[in-house]
Amino acid sequence: MRILPVLCALLLLMLQGVTGLSPARASAQECERRGGFCSHRSCPPGIGRIGLCSEQEFCCRMRWYP
């Protein structure tokens, strides 16, 4: 039973590389294609960060995007 948390942690680490689960460095066009917008320094309250547009801009999108 002690190995179960370790296996769960390993599974999560492996899934981080899957597209959509990790913030990917992308352009503004890629951010807009994913239904987001670029925001300087941080995303507004209630809006989640889904990636990066540049070194100082985050790609933001509403959490419950269809």
Structural domains of the chain, ranges and CATH numbers in brackets: 24-65 (3.10.360.10)
Instruction: Give the position of tokens 């419950």.
Output: 64
The reply to whether the predicted model has a pTM over 0.85 is no
pLDDT score of 39: 92
pLDDT of residue 22: 46
Residue indicated by tokens 């959509």:
20
Strand order from edge to edge, sheet including 24-25: 24-25, 47-52, 57-62, 37-40
Tens of pLDDT, residue by residue over 9-61, are 777 777 665 545 444 456 889 999 988 999 988 898 889 998 899 888 999 99
C-alpha span between 50 and 21 (Å, rounded): 9
More confidently predicted of 31 and 63? 31
* Residue environment code for 7-24, b if the CB has 16+ CB neighbours within 10 A, otherwise e: eeeeeeeeeeeeeeeeee
